[in-house]
Amino acid sequence: MNDSVLNRRRFLTLTGGATLAAGLAACTGTGGDTAAAPAGGSGNGSKELRLFTYEDNSTIDLVKAQVKAFDAQNGTTTTVDSLPGSGAAVYPDKLRTELLGGKGPDVWRIWGGQIGAPFVKSKQAMDLSSYYTKFGWDTRLNPAAVQGMTFDGVKGGVPFIVNGIGGWYSQAAFAKAKISAPPKSYAELEDMNAKLVAAGITPLGAGGKYGWHVMRLFEYLLETSAGPELHDKLLTGDESWDRPEVVTAFTTFKKWQDQKWMPAGAVGLDPADVELWYVQGKAAYTITGSWTEAQGIQAGGKKSADFGVFTLPTDHAPDRHSGFVEGYMVNAKAGNPDMAAALIDFIVKPDTQKALKVTSSAVTGAEPDKSTLPLSYEYSQGAGKQPFYTIQDQAFPKKQADQYFAIQSDVLQGKTAPAEAAKKMQDVIKGWKK
């Protein structure tokens, strides 16, 4: 077992506000040298750059505006391409295909953990250590977030987001169902769901297309049934998934569909649409991060005061939530790596982060503005400072995550019984070569 796996285990008990994921620094796989390509000003000095991201359609114009400002300062021309809504199920494969074809972007946005790690391991992403020194990123970024973009000692990415997942809800929906306050226990959450259904309201807006959105529900149910210690060991493959606690989580997962606590046919629904239902009056709440205040509530012309956010109760201490890191990487074959790194440096400046409305920034001085993003500020000062577990599509390598998504989809559709799903998940984890 190497140090990166040990670091990843330590991550699973750290807090989001102070010390994020050493475990996101894990880089697994077999064979080959794990060092990334070195940085250092090589390339052809091109003044043309390409940035690839998965920015939401409601905020992509903010990104383009800031990139345009960078271009004006540096005499560059940067093309911004985005693949919104697909999440970790599609975007990494699209990026990988471009890189293997020799036409990849100069800079790309990516998640930490087992999603970002392969790009560093394969030397498609540049070792940014020299740029950390040049731009002083170590002193400007959350140290634990930096660890979340460090893979086997290689600083392969620059973090700009440290985020946690919670329940974001419509106060109008709660009022209609005569719900006076968010739930404080799992039993209260189920009672709340029943009241919402009785009032003619779909409780949870969740879509199963791509797998990652309904995953947020299952990982919460697993935290509730297994508890923090066992959940962590399941995520690292140190305990078998073929066990009663996992069966319970899958059983409860199916219950949410059967009781109409999530939309009918949720498996086929696009999260890009369904996540906004709580804003549009089609559902009471969703499970998402604080980006939804800018991208969902405010972009939809609504007032933050009409909504709220709560921690999904697990009945365990600590009451953890799901969390993750996002950042930027530089193509090891970038035509102008110095300029690519300069673009990232521009993006991680506090003023740029605020202009981008990043609600969970890893950049010192770019905390949410209480006056403009009150709910994000509230979350950052409360649940955002609590311990969290690794969001599951970062905890697993891409292959295992895809197999897991297929299993949870089959459970919701009644094709696979909960007990069989637990056995299948153990088979998936056995295939993970660490």
Please tell me the predicted confidence (pLDDT) of residue 37.
43
Query: Which ranges of 53-136 does DSSP label H, i.e. alpha helix?
Result: 60-74, 91-100, 113-121, 129-135
d(CA 110, CA 92): 8
Please tell me the predicted confidence (pLDDT) of residue 1.
34
Burial class (CB in 10 A: 0-12, 13-18, 19+), 248: middle
Please tell me the predicted confidence (pLDDT) of residue 175.
98
Q: Who contacts 27 (Cβ-Cβ below 8 Å, separation ≥6)?
A: 4, 34, 117, 118, 120, 121, 151, 152
Tell me whether strands 48-53 and 77-82 are parallel, antiparallel or unpaired: parallel
Please tell me the predicted confidence (pLDDT) of residue 58.
83
Please tell me the predicted confidence (pLDDT) of residue 105.
98
Provide long-range contacts, Cβ within 8 A and 24+ apart, for 400-406. 400/428, 400/429, 400/431, 400/432, 401/88, 401/89, 401/114, 401/211, 402/89, 402/211, 403/428, 403/431, 404/211, 404/215, 404/428, 405/89, 405/210, 405/211, 405/212, 405/215, 406/211
Give, rounded to a whole angstrom, the gap between the first and last alpha carbons of the chain: 8
User: What proportions of the chain, in percent to the nearest 5, are helix, strand and coil?
Assistant: 45, 15, 40
Of 168, 202, 423, whose CA–CA distance to 306 is shortest?
168
CB 53 within 8 A of CB 327: no
Residue type (1 letter), 365: G
Please give the DSSP secondary-structure letter assigned to residue 89: G
Q: Which domains, and CATH codes, for the chain?
A: 39-162+324-373 (3.40.190.10), 166-323+375-433 (3.40.190.10)
Please tell me the predicted confidence (pLDDT) of residue 134.
98
Backbone torsions φ then ψ of 159, nearest 5 degrees: -75, 145
Tell me whether strands 388-390 and 321-330 are parallel, antiparallel or unpaired: parallel
Backbone torsions φ then ψ of 329, nearest 5 degrees: -120, 160
Gyration radius (Cα) of the chain, Å? 21
Please tell me the predicted confidence (pLDDT) of residue 42.
56
d(CA 27, CA 109): 18
Please tell me the predicted confidence (pLDDT) of residue 359.
81
CA distances from 111 to 25, 52, 119, 176 (A): 11, 13, 11, 38
Residue type (1 letter), 1: M
Per-residue pLDDT of the chain (434 residues; tens, 9 = 90+): 333 332 333 333 333 333 333 332 333 232 333 334 444 555 668 899 999 999 988 889 999 999 999 999 999 999 999 998 767 778 999 999 999 998 899 999 999 988 899 999 999 999 999 999 999 999 999 887 888 899 989 999 999 998 889 999 999 999 999 999 999 999 999 999 999 999 999 999 999 999 999 999 999 999 999 999 999 999 989 999 999 999 999 999 999 999 999 999 999 999 999 999 999 999 999 999 998 998 899 999 999 999 999 999 999 998 899 988 899 999 999 999 999 999 999 999 999 999 998 888 999 899 888 999 999 999 988 887 777 888 998 888 888 999 999 999 999 999 999 999 999 999 999 998 76
Q: Who contacts 343 (Cβ-Cβ below 8 Å, separation ≥6)?
A: 49, 51, 67, 70, 76, 78, 106, 107
d(CA 171, CA 13): 33
Q: Which residue has tokens 């997962």?
A: 253
Sign of the alpha-carbon dihedral angle for 85, 90, 96, 101: negative
